[in-house]
Structure 1
Amino acid sequence: MQNRRVALIPAYQPNSGMAQLVQEIKDTGFQIVVVDDGSSPEKEEVFRMAAKNAVILKHNENRGKGRALKTGLDYIYSKFSADCVVVTVDADGQHKPNDVERVCKEAENHAGCLILGSRKMKGDIPLRSRFGNTVTRLVYQLFTKIRVYDTQTGLRAFEGALIPKFLGIVGERYEYEMNVLLECSGCHIPIKEVSIETVYLDNNSSSHFDTLKDSYRIYKEILKFSAASFGSFLIDYGMYSLLTAITATGFANGGAVAFSNIGARIVSAVFNYMVNRNMVFQSKENPVKSALKYFTLAVGILVGNTIMLEILVNAIGMNHYVGKLCTEFIFFFASWFVQSHFIFQKKEE
Structure 2
Amino acid sequence: MTILIPSYEPDERLLTLIHHLKEETGVASILIVDDGSGEQYKAIFESAAEAGCTVLRHTVNKGKGSALKTGFDYVRQHGGHDGVVCADSDGQHLPEDILKITDAVRKNRNHIVLGSRQFTGKVPLRSRFGNSATRMVYSLATGKPIRDTQTGLRGYSSDMLDWLCEVPGDRFEYEMNMLLEAPKAGYDFVEVPIETVYLEDNKSSHFRPLTDSARIYFPFLKFCTSSGFAAVLDFVLLFLFQWLTSSLLIAVIGARVISSIFNFTMNRRFVFNDGQAISIKKSLPRYFSLVVVIMISNYALLYLFHESIKIPLFAAKLMTEALLFAFSYLVQRRFVY
TM-score (norm 2): 0.89
Give the direction of change, closer, same or farther, for the CA distance of 1:114–1:343 in structure 2 (3 Å limit).
same
1:14 maps to amino acid:
P
Aligned counterpart, 2:238: 240
Rounded to whole Å, the distance in 2 between the matches of 1:342 and 1:67 is 28
* C-alpha contact 1:63 1:173 (8 A) present in aligned 2: yes
Unaligned runs of 5+ in 2: none
Offset, 1:171:
0.7
Aligned counterpart, 1:76: 75
Offset, 1:331:
3.6
Aligned counterpart, 1:9: 5
Give the direction of change, closer, same or farther, for the CA distance of 1:238–1:290 in structure 2 (3 Å limit).
farther
Aligned counterpart, 2:44: 46
Rounded to whole Å, the distance in 2 between the matches of 1:74 and 1:276 is 31
Offset, 1:326:
4.6
* C-alpha contact 1:118 1:150 (8 A) present in aligned 2: yes
Q: 2:260 aligns with which of 269, 277, 292?
A: 269
Rounded to whole Å, the distance in 1 between the matches of 2:232 and 2:133 is 27
Give the direction of change, closer, same or farther, for the CA distance of 1:342–1:171 in structure 2 (3 Å limit).
farther
1:301 maps to amino acid:
L
Offset, 1:132:
0.9
Spell out the pairing of 1:72-151 with structure 2 (5 A cutoff): 72-82=71-81, 84-151=82-149
Offset, 1:279:
4.1
Unaligned runs of 5+ in 1: 249-255, 345-349
2:259 maps to amino acid:
S
Spell out the pairing of 1:151-162 with structure 2 (5 A cutoff): 151-162=149-160
Offset, 1:187:
3.4
Aligned pair count reads: 330
1:263 maps to amino acid:
G
Aligned counterpart, 2:289: 300
- Does 156-165 or 304-313 show the bigger shift? 304-313
SS at match of 2:251: helix
- Alignment pair present for 1:336 and 2:324: no
Spell out the pairing of 1:177-192 with structure 2 (5 A cutoff): 177-192=175-190
* C-alpha contact 1:35 1:68 (8 A) present in aligned 2: yes
Rounded to whole Å, the distance in 1 between the matches of 2:26 and 2:204 is 27
Rounded to whole Å, the distance in 2 between the matches of 1:227 and 1:310 is 23
Give CA-to-partner distance per residue, 1:223-259, whole Å, 9 cap, x none. Answer: 12102101101101221222123222xxxxxxx4443
Give the direction of change, closer, same or farther, for the CA distance of 1:113–1:229 in structure 2 (3 Å limit).
same
SS at match of 1:185: helix
* C-alpha contact 1:65 1:173 (8 A) present in aligned 2: yes
Offset, 1:312:
3.8
Rounded to whole Å, the distance in 1 between the matches of 2:274 and 2:104 is 36
TM-score (norm 1): 0.86
> Alignment identity in percent?
38
